[in-house]
A and B are shown apart, each in its own frame.
Chain A
């Protein structure tokens, strides 16, 4: 390795392509190339956001209006089902925070799933670490999440709650959601190459995930069997901890933190492994 490194410095890079198409690429090189092109993921998602906005009449305003309408619809739904039992403004703040965070994850999965097949020409034309494309999709989902933060703040303050330092803990929780989302985006991006109806199934999967996660209800109010499922539902600790910290200023227990970290890291590792060990086959399958 050190010999190679010496040679590298003296001359042009050597690229060797051979037939070990199954299995992971050389990881240090892969991530060095990925890091070198990080601006590409950023610029790609910025352009995507611009296109998405250009296609709607009200443009940027839609980024704010869409999640707000969603929150309104779900609030109405919960009102009808529960005949008005959780009415407090704090509940609305919880609902808004949960839905916005949930849609960040769900948009990451859906955008990620389309990221390779939707960029088929690019993948056939240029050589770069393909993981950049699902990462760009997560960054796009993040770009749509950002404008919802002030909306949440408005509802939170209108509800008469005061700001607490514990709310800052929502930032690391969100960071873990991001790590989780990159793994999921990469996984579904690769799956979509093999099964083109993945994007058609995803909305159903997401709908179920939404109902079994503590978004429409508080984590400690979850029905007994939802809590049991929660052991297998990564969004249960992630969204639960997000709401606890951001809305109620509660510091989650060590167990919850551990669950969040474990889910985020395993989703990331699994998704990236699944993607990277197959990415060299993408070009012949598009």
Chain B
């Protein structure tokens, strides 16, 4: 597997990784080759959620637990389990799998939101995320405030956002609603605004998690055209969707997750067909893999 690991300059990672044995020229050469290909490299990634499922953690309960001699009960969920794959620049990669397979978790970790429990992720380029929760600001805030805050949070300057605002608002096509609180929006309107913000951030890598499922037919078509336009500029995209038709049409590659494990990687058509067969036959994917 190719690796970018000699060029650690991450926002979150430990920079002490640089291999002292490599000369600067060597690094530059390897660096050139690698960047021409890889946008994302996921290596033996595992992510474990450690949540107290049945209750909200409080001091009161911690003290009560201590008094009663109970141990802290954690529910440990292995959401992603030893997953490795690479994504080349310019790929649209579909991610499919059952509910709870770990698709959203995988996308969050590539976006740098969830730290890997073990393993390593290397990403080259600016990432823009369009995750299942929409823009995620307070519902009392207006669409306009959401756009501005979303842009600032992803590191744009105020001028850059002002320049882009009209384009974003026009694309979302919300009319007067852009200046009303987002609690007055339908879920499709929320999704349109979030999509519009994400695609106008000039991302090198766009991560989309079921963001289009609530958009209407007209917006879906508009969104597809926009995505094809971004593809023309050799951007990389990861698309999570339960719409298998969408995956087939939109993506050139696909991966299939089952209970946190990567059980298939290949062309979108092939993977979707295998997945459909599997769902129809009702077998466990592991059994299927064994054949």
Which A residues lie at the B interface, using CB under 8 A?
Answer: 1, 3-8, 11-21, 25-26, 29-30, 33, 36-37, 39-40, 43-44, 47-48, 51, 54, 119, 121-128, 132, 194-198, 201, 280-281, 283-285
B123 near A: Cβ within 8 Å?
yes
Distance in Å from the Cβ of B14 to the closest Cβ of chain A? 5
B28 near A: Cβ within 8 Å?
yes
Distance in Å from the Cβ of A18 to the closest Cβ of chain B? 4
Write out, one digit per residue, whether chain B residues 203-218 have a CB within 8 A of any chain A CB (1) or not (0): 0100000000000000
Q: Is the CB of A14 within 8 A of B124?
A: yes
Write out, one digit per residue, whether chain B residues 89-111 have a CB within 8 A of any chain A CB (1) or not (0): 00000000000000000001111
B153 near A: Cβ within 8 Å?
yes
Q: Is the CB of B136 within 8 A of A122?
A: yes
Q: Is the CB of A195 within 8 A of B115?
A: no
Q: Is the CB of B114 within 8 A of A194?
A: no
Alpha-carbon distance A16/B12, docked complex (angstroms): 7
Residue of A nearest to B146 (CB): A47
| Chain B stretch 116-147: residues in CB contact (< 8 A) with chain A | 116-127, 129, 131, 133-138, 140-141, 145
Q: Is the CB of B13 within 8 A of A17?
A: yes
Distance in Å from the Cβ of A196 to the closest Cβ of chain B? 5
Residue of A nearest to B132 (CB): A125
Within the complex, which residue of A8, A47, A127, A284 is in contact with B49, where a contact is CB–CB below 8 Å? Answer: A284
B15 near A: Cβ within 8 Å?
yes
Alpha-carbon distance A252/B35, docked complex (angstroms): 60
Alpha-carbon distance A39/B116, docked complex (angstroms): 29
- A25 CB contacts on chain B under 8 angstroms: 11-12
Number of A-B contacts (CB under 8 A): 198
Known: A19-B115, A197-B60. A7 touches B31 (CB 8 A): yes
29 contacts across the A-B interface (CB closer than 8 A): A3-B27, A5-B9, A6-B24, A7-B28, A12-B204, A14-B123, A15-B123, A15-B127, A16-B5, A17-B110, A17-B120, A18-B115, A18-B121, A19-B115, A20-B13, A26-B12, A29-B9, A29-B10, A47-B137, A122-B136, A124-B108, A124-B136, A126-B136, A127-B11, A128-B154, A128-B155, A195-B59, A197-B59, A285-B50
Q: Is the CB of B115 within 8 A of A17?
A: yes
Interface size on B, residues (CB 8 A): 70
Distance in Å from the Cβ of A204 to the closest Cβ of chain B? 12
Within the complex, which residue of A54, A122, A285 is in contact with B137, where a contact is CB–CB below 8 Å? Answer: A122
Q: Is the CB of B204 within 8 A of A18?
A: no
Q: Contacts A29-B15, A285-B51 given; 19 further ones with Cβ under 8 A? A: A1-B18, A7-B31, A12-B204, A14-B123, A15-B11, A16-B10, A17-B13, A17-B116, A17-B123, A19-B118, A29-B12, A54-B140, A119-B136, A121-B136, A127-B11, A195-B59, A195-B62, A201-B59, A280-B12
Alpha-carbon distance A13/B150, docked complex (angstroms): 20
- B60 CB contacts on chain A under 8 angstroms: 197
Residue of B nearest to A42 (CB): B152
| Chain B stretch 15-56: residues in CB contact (< 8 A) with chain A | 15, 17-18, 24, 27-28, 31, 35, 47-51, 56
Interface centre among B5, B12, B35, B133 (most CB of A within 10 A): B12
Which B residues lie at the A interface, using CB under 8 A?
Answer: 4-5, 7-15, 17-18, 24, 27-28, 31, 35, 47-51, 56-60, 62, 108-127, 129, 131, 133-138, 140-141, 145, 148-150, 152-155, 157-158, 204
Alpha-carbon distance A149/B158, docked complex (angstroms): 29
- B112 CB contacts on chain A under 8 angstroms: 15, 17, 127
Distance in Å from the Cβ of B38 to the closest Cβ of chain A? 10
- B150 CB contacts on chain A under 8 angstroms: 126
Residue of B nearest to A6 (CB): B24
Alpha-carbon distance A92/B149, docked complex (angstroms): 41
Residue of B nearest to A54 (CB): B140
Within the complex, which residue of A4, A13, A198, A281 is in contact with B115, where a contact is CB–CB below 8 Å? Answer: A281
Within the complex, which residue of A48, A195, A281 is in contact with B58, where a contact is CB–CB below 8 Å? Answer: A195
Known: A20-B14, A194-B57, A196-B58. A13 touches B9 (CB 8 A): yes
Distance in Å from the Cβ of A55 to the closest Cβ of chain B? 8
Q: Is the CB of A18 within 8 A of B120?
A: yes
